[in-house]
Amino acid sequence: MGVKIQALEYYFPENKVSNEMLRERFPDYDFTKFESKVGIMSRYWVDSNETALDLAEQACLKLFENIDRTQVEYIVYCTQSPEYILPTTACLLQERLGLSRTVGAFDFNLGCSGYVYGLSLAKGLIESGQVNNVLLVTAETYSKYLNEEDRSNRAIFGDAATATFLIKSNREGLKQFAFGSDGSGAEKLIIKNGGTKNSCILNPETKVYGSDNQYTDNNLYMNGPEIFNFTAENIPDFTKKVLEINKMELQNPDYFIFHQANSFMLEFLRKRIKIEKEKFYINMADGGNTVSNTIPIALKRLANDLGNIAAPLSVVVVGFGVGLSWAGGIIEIDNSLI
């Protein structure tokens, strides 16, 4: 028995923010250099009254155009933008979608590695015989965490949601996964206030990092150079480990899809690992860094770009970032993703 992806959809909020629009707000920021280096042309942000749950609902409704919602047996919901501290947002999604009360549902808090972790969790639930299918949802609204004057991060991050339906199959569409974590790097990408350790503070002190980042402890803080160093030090060898546990050589997979953080970092990793350019998929110009959503969005776009897929294609997926955490595995895609 195996597990495969039967369907995948993604959803962006309606509010599209181009680099031209950001240039009007930040006239001194060099967006020409940003576009050539980072590779992002536009991103989508929710309105003030719109949440990640709203995006998740819309992504699932798109999925249900081709999948019978009454078949869903379990919701696995990845978000760092929960509706509330409690209850779990997955339960709210179950009610919104009108799913059976026999459906299992839980959230897990992971960012850029979250989709790969979610695939592994779904694989475990199905292969252990607990359920026949899993609805894996990712949803993020990092725009709500960005300081109004943080030019760098406002240019990078976008909001989105995805819905993936995984089913029991005779084919091993999800192969072996590997994982990593390093909590000592937690403060390299963090929102310090808002949890049980530190509540949000009215009029907190504004801090400056670099020339383009302003934030408070109520906002998202990212030490970009340190995140890059962490990725450069860990992901090349980790990718080789993912190949080894799946008994594959570097030339065997059809494609590689890494977390779409920025094109400069991705090109660095591709060259360091020595992956062929034609096999290394990058598609983030429209949407930007949507955290846990980037890999499923890229998977859907890859399938659409390819058109008819004559036979299942093997794709190495690797996520990395906030936590610090990372995860990787090999999956197969086919025409069901189109």
Q: What is the CATH number of the domain that holds 297?
A: 3.40.47.10
- Structural tokens at position 101: 């009360």
Residue 312: asked if its preceding bond is cis (omega within 30°), the reply is no
Q: For all residues of the chain together, what is the average pLDDT?
A: 97
Residues 16, 32, single domain; the answer is yes
Q: How far apart are CA 13 and CA 30, in angstroms?
A: 26
Supply the pLDDT for residue 212.
82
| 310 pLDDT above the threshold of 90 | no
Residue 77 has pLDDT above 90, yes or no: yes
Distance of alpha carbon 95 from alpha carbon 75, whole angstroms = 11
Length of the chain: 338
Q: How confident is the model at residue 338 (pLDDT cuts 50, 70, 90)?
A: confident
Q: Please count the structural domains in the chain.
A: 2
Give yes or no for residue 161 having a pLDDT over 90. Answer: yes
Residue 326 has pLDDT above 90, yes or no: yes
**DSSP H helical ranges for the chain:** 19-25, 31-38, 52-63, 89-97, 114-127, 151-156, 224-245, 263-273, 294-306
pLDDT, average across residues 99-128:
98
Q: Rg (Cα) of the chain, in Å, rounded?
A: 19
* Structural domain span for residue 99: 2-171
DSSP states along 178-220 = EEEE-GGGGGGEE--SSSSSS---SSPPPEEETTTEEE-TTS-
Q: How confident is the model at residue 148 (pLDDT cuts 50, 70, 90)?
A: very high
The confidence score (pLDDT) of residue 5 equals 98
Of all residues in the chain, the percent with pLDDT exceeding 70 is 100
Spatial contact of 45 and 87, defined as CB atoms under 8 Å apart:
no
Q: pLDDT confidence of 74, banded at 50, 70, 90?
A: very high
Each residue's pLDDT tens digit, 265-285: 999 999 999 999 999 999 999
Based on the fold, state whether residues 151 and 210 are members of the same structural domain: no
**Is 44 within 8 Å of 156 (Cβ atoms)?**
no
Dump pLDDT digits (tens) for 216-227: 999 999 999 999
Q: Are residues 330 and 191 in the same domain?
A: yes
Mean pLDDT computed over 159-183? 97
Same domain? 136 vs 210:
no
pLDDT-derived band of residue 147, with 50, 70 and 90 as boundaries?
very high
Nearest CA among 328, 156, 154 for reference residue 241? 328
Residues 58 and 187 in one domain: no
Q: Which one of 171, 190, 215 terminates a domain?
A: 171
Q: What is the pLDDT, as a whole number, of residue 1?
A: 80
